[in-house]
A and B are shown apart, each in its own frame.
Chain A
């Protein structure tokens, strides 16, 4: 066991996966020689050589397209898109090809590939470096979408993603890379080294895709969150004293509806959180499914706190970000309902 940041855990996961299977290759912009702009691939080229960890030109479409070809012929590429905001040139390849090869070929070919990308805001990245596009992947049949919230999960889920026989989108909340940021942007963040979830085994382990985790058991209300919003939820719970059960979805597709359903049936209330914009965000799908499964157990309308329906602003980052204040207010409101 050792303490790792999320960056170290992601690096270590790729190292473990590459050691176990020589068909795993890692590439992307600045990934090889430079070790990645967030240092998530640092040391992999030294350890495995430039044929297994290498740089690509600035070609998101090319990165994803070539990964599909490699994957269809037996490799297991794990590619990095430097920021989720840069994924759009490769979105066509992801949705029309990666997500569809299994179906289209009647299962003759699959595309076991992982696409890693940092997601979310909190670093004053502005419009083109802060977006949370998870719903755009979840909406496409044929992709799995994973979004870990801590180093331990990140490692186990990333190895599972690489070993998975289908294409997996692996979104890394960049604001969590170094510690569990809870939305209090004016306070220092506790580093992962001081958090139990920063405790990561050096060896191989996996966390199954499609399984949520209960971060905090509670009885009053169920909060559904993933990524950074898990910590915002924890902060809001602490500040309001409301005994909420916080479910960290970890994988948004496939969705662990059983865990969600069991919790909401117990608490009778449900608050959904995400940083992405509201309209057609993943919260809309969660609301629909909770309503379908738990309607007769609900004691208040399901509600959600999300980013606003605006582009991600630069200066007004903290007006946009659904921080603890907004979540606390929603918690209080749902308890009155």
Chain B
């Protein structure tokens, strides 16, 4: 009990809230800068391409882009081990790329082709990878939170030392099942890190218009779950907070909540009239807090690289993304028979 009481104390102690710019950078940061830069840029270029293909009619239905939020998955993934699981909602392309799933496989699912990670059955919102321990890709807001909690239960049961990174949005944070899961995770002391990607809007509804308590890292207080607010636009701030939270969970101290203060630049999905926020608000964040531009400045300041080299990196990533898009467009339509596979395990004759 004392243990969790201390944790709770930490959670509500404002001095423990990491806000923009207040992070002390770890010594090994220099080495990792370029790595994270590339990882974030891959997500951004991938998403830009997906947006483009959507515009061309090559992707249909829903398509939720992650542009603006790249530092969150990149920073968290940096501290995860292969055995750890990742689960998220429908804004999932970035998570899959960060997990190391193939850009071509993701893109081919977006275009609904046979080589898509769900062979066209899932589309943008529903993909999985056993190999990369990625458990979806969930279209129902909040549904993944109890699922991630169950994955964490399995980790504890099997005593495998793994942690489940369970992502959800500020809007999802109001679903009732999230709180059922919080209570269970704390009661059963499960190795789960809840990552709330607070991009300030759930579709057209701002956090202020939907949440009585807008500081979402406090949502675990009544369950004695520690929480932290993190600058989700700074990959190193994310990494540092994730490292603390994941260690905490891995050491058997139970769940942890990270509220990532982030922002989505694009519309909720592809048809978004964007009447719920001002253009200037988006522009302001883009020009002052962009995670990739921010890191680029740090890289240049540290003289780790120069403009020419960074351009070269961008060129390589663009080529990689183009290859993924070509793959996704060349892949055949799924066979009609696929419609009936994997509904249930066939009854053996």
Contact = CB atoms under 8 A, between A and B. Distances in A.
Interface in B109-137: 112-113, 116, 118, 120-123, 125-126
B276 A314 contact: no
B113 A57 contact: no
A309 B343 contact: yes
B174 interface: yes
Interface in B208-223: 209-211
B176 to A, nearest CB: 6
B340 A310 contact: yes
Interface stretch (B25-33, B66-74, B139-147, B187-195): B139-147
A205 interface: no
Interface stretch (B255-263, B301-309, B330-338): B330-338
Interface string B304-344: 00000000000000000000000000000110101110010
B172 interface: yes
A319 interface: yes
A34 B205 CA distance: 7
A56 to B, nearest CB: 8
A57 B120 contact: no
B176 A30 contact: no
Contacts of A37: 203-204
- Report the contact-size class of chain B (Cβ under 8 Å from the partner): 35 or more
A124 B61 contact: yes
Contact of A57 (B62, B210, B333): B210
Tell me the dominant secondary structure on chain A's binding face.
loop
Interface string B30-61: 00000000000000000000000000000011
B204 A126 contact: no
A245 interface: no
B202 interface: yes
Given A33-B204, A58-B174, A319 B339 contact: yes
A29 interface: yes
B113 A315 contact: yes
Interface in A51-69: 55-59, 61-62
Contact of A123 (B61, B333, B334): B61
Nearest to B203: A30
Interface in A138-183: none
B104 interface: no
Given A34-B275, A57-B210, A85 B140 contact: yes
B61 A316 contact: no
Interface in B269-327: 275-276
Interface string A293-330: 00000000000000011110111100110000000000
Contacts of B232: none
Contacts of A85: 139-140
Contacts of A127: 121-122, 126, 139
Q: Which of A62, A124, A310, A316 has the most CB of B within 10 A?
A: A316
6 contacts: A29-B205, A30-B205, A33-B205, A126-B121, A127-B122, A315-B123
Given A58-B172, A85-B139, 13 more contacts: A33-B276, A56-B210, A86-B140, A86-B141, A89-B176, A125-B61, A126-B126, A126-B139, A127-B122, A128-B140, A315-B112, A315-B113, A315-B123
